[in-house]
Chains A and B, each alone.
Chain A
Amino acid sequence: MRVGIPRTLSFFTLYPLLKPFFDGLGVEVVVSPASNKALLDEGVKDTVNDACVPIKLFHGHVVALKDKVDVLFMPRIISLDGKNTLCPKFLGLPDMVKYSVSNLPEIIETRLDMKKGKMEIYRFLYRVGKRFTDNKVKILRAIWHARYKFSRYRKLLLKGLTPEEAFTCLHTGQEPPHKEQSGQIKLAVLGYPYTIYDDYISVGLLDMLREQGVRVYTAEMVPEEAMKRMSKKLPKNLFWYYSNRVVWGSQYYINEQNIDGIIHVTAFSCGPDSMTNKLVELEAKQHQPKIPFLTITVDEHTGEAGVATRVEAFVDLIKRKKGII
């Protein structure tokens, strides 16, 4: 039995929970290859026209997997933190894919709604597990194992590892290499994990910044207690999980971490980001002194040059301001 997991969207959040879980059930996990041009082209062809790039890419990943697996894992994720929902496209993802891509294998679209309580994550995994085995002990043991790996993953991200580096650590069981970022300036790069950690979609933004002597900080490196504190700052929060984390992350870095600048990475035509982007911008502008702010919009076109010019100019601006060059 092989289960396919597309390497995008919630992948960067949930994979370290799912992988050990399926391993524990004795189910082989197949992950789609890293995003690339062929996958995106395929996705663009199949997806409804007005979807954002990450959703189009998701369709591409589904196409890449569909003939290689017995089951496609595509849960309907309603809420991950018990308070906020995800973007409507996540909620309707299984339906969207089913009606856009033909010849699909069986789809597991189990609902995950953490608003039902803290134990819901275990009930969710249990429901998924039932699809593969009737052996309750086996499922419970797999859940226990997955839980441990998952909490370790979150700790690795807090230490500043990228998801890919953290996956390697979890897989090999090795301690993470001690990683002290070097560079003269500190930038917060905020955006959804599936845009900033997907090198294809972000046109290698994180590496581009590091090469220019930038220490990069992301929302995944913000401790949970700090996120909680930030969530009380605005009179009203946004509705969406990932968007809130971007806003809270920006507040944390601006007000408590003495960051030199903020880059908000957004996908063209992202609905929630129309508000997220403005909130982050206002946060950066209201701070005294003003924090330099840049929006990077990613889209289907693979225009690395456009992103490179903006990023280079932004880094120049900050370095000149600080008197480094």
Chain B
Amino acid sequence: MQAYLGVDVGSVSTNLVVIDDDGNVLVDLYLRTQGQPIQAVQEGMKQVEEAIKGKKIEICGVGTTGSARTLSGVIVGADTVKNEITAHAVAASHLVPDVQTVLEIGGQDSKIIILRDGIVVDFAMNTVCAAGTGSFLDHQAARLNIPIEDFGGLALQSEASVRIAGRCSVFAESDMIHKQQMGHPTPDIIAGLCDALVRNYLNNVGKGKEILAPVVFQGGVAANVGIRAAFEKALGLKIIVPDYFKVMGAIGAALLAKATVKEKGETNFRGFVVSDLEYQASSFECQGCPNLCEIVNISVDDKVLARWGGRCGKWDTLSKTG
């Protein structure tokens, strides 16, 4: 069977999916990146290989996305390297064909994508601030000593959520501590935090956007039922969370790879051997000018595969991806 692989390496998670020719998901994997994107991709590849062993599945194309898309693209030999927005939009409109709004909250970024008739017409991403993303929730859950998995459920137990300032994660944290010291029960504080996060998202990322149903909510944070409920309350709309909400970026990358391969007729996929290769990443500071760019080399067996990070073309002599 012909299949396509999608790899989405983000700040927090590394996701891999395998889809068949009709876009059905055969394998989906959600791993923690833990600051080691290369190892995460290799580990993911190993697990994908295990999962499809003996099933007569042939990988005919591979696509990468996420903040480490260039790096992972080099490692796996990607046919297409795409930004997260396009990948998420493609996946959402594949699974929910008439989708008009995509809310995506990941580890360190959040975005809103507005589609009309299956085409992206507008989008926005959070700017410099990471308040209201998964990392912040992770951090607060750890501080309250609550497993992140239970976080959303606790919020639903609240009867009267407290008001928490969601503008800035540092201030939100002091606000939460204050509310704790006042004696508010934890579920109310967590519900307040969910409301604040949603409020911040809608005012910042969703500012001025026309949010129409069907609304699809995806990204790691969509697992949080508290945030889901807060969105439904704030928007007054039903929120659809697709089955594969965690790996939508990877699904999008796989779909894009399928389209690319169909057009060019061959794949650059390096095969599952990549999980056993020794990839070395090294970096140095270029002293050529006062910009002091940090140049990164990715090599296998002392052979440089890719290099990036420079502002000028000096180090770009190798093939350019991304």
Query: Measuring CB to CB, which residues of chain A are less than 8 angstroms from any residue of chain B?
Result: 33, 36-39, 199-200, 203-204, 268, 281, 290, 292-293, 297, 299, 301, 304-306, 308-310, 312-314, 316-317, 320-321
Give chain A residues whose Cβ lies under 8 Å from the Cβ of B290: 33, 36-39
- Contact B208 A309, beta carbon cutoff 8 Å: no
Q: A37-B290, A37-B291, A317-B121 are in contact. Are A297 and B127 (CB under 8 A)?
A: yes
Among B35-43, B78-86, B225-233, B297-305, the one that faces the other chain is: B78-86
- Contact B121 A309, beta carbon cutoff 8 Å: no
List CB contacts (< 8 Å) of B70-88 with chain A: 82-86
- Identify the closest chain B residue to A289 (Cβ): B121
Give chain A residues whose Cβ lies under 8 Å from the Cβ of B67: 305, 309
Minimum CB–CB distance for A139 against chain B, Å? 37
- Contact B85 A313, beta carbon cutoff 8 Å: yes
Give chain A residues whose Cβ lies under 8 Å from the Cβ of B311: 199-200, 203-204, 304
Query: Measuring CB to CB, which residues of chain B are less than 8 angstroms from any residue of chain A?
Result: 67, 82-86, 119-123, 125, 127-128, 208, 289-292, 311, 322
Majority-rule SS of B interface residues: loop
Interface centre among A36, A268, A299 (most CB of B within 10 A): A36
Q: A301-B128, A313-B85 are in contact. Are A292 and B292 (CB under 8 A)?
A: no
5 contacts between A and B (CB under 8 A): A36-B289, A38-B291, A39-B290, A309-B84, A316-B85
Q: A305-B67, A316-B86, A320-B120 are in contact. Are A310 and B125 (CB under 8 A)?
A: yes
Q: A200-B311, A299-B128 are in contact. Are A313 and B292 (CB under 8 A)?
A: no
Determine the distance from Cα of A308 to Cα of B125 in the docked complex, in whole angstroms: 12
Q: A290-B121, A321-B121 are in contact. Are A268 and B85 (CB under 8 A)?
A: no
- Identify the closest chain B residue to A308 (Cβ): B322
Give chain A residues whose Cβ lies under 8 Å from the Cβ of B322: 308
- Identify the closest chain B residue to A282 (Cβ): B208
Determine the distance from Cα of A313 to Cα of B121 in the docked complex, in whole angstroms: 11
Determine the distance from Cα of A234 to Cα of B196 in the docked complex, in whole angstroms: 38
- Contact B291 A312, beta carbon cutoff 8 Å: no
Give chain B residues whose Cβ lies under 8 Å from the Cβ of A203: 311
Give chain A residues whose Cβ lies under 8 Å from the Cβ of B292: 37-38
Minimum CB–CB distance for B294 against chain A, Å? 10
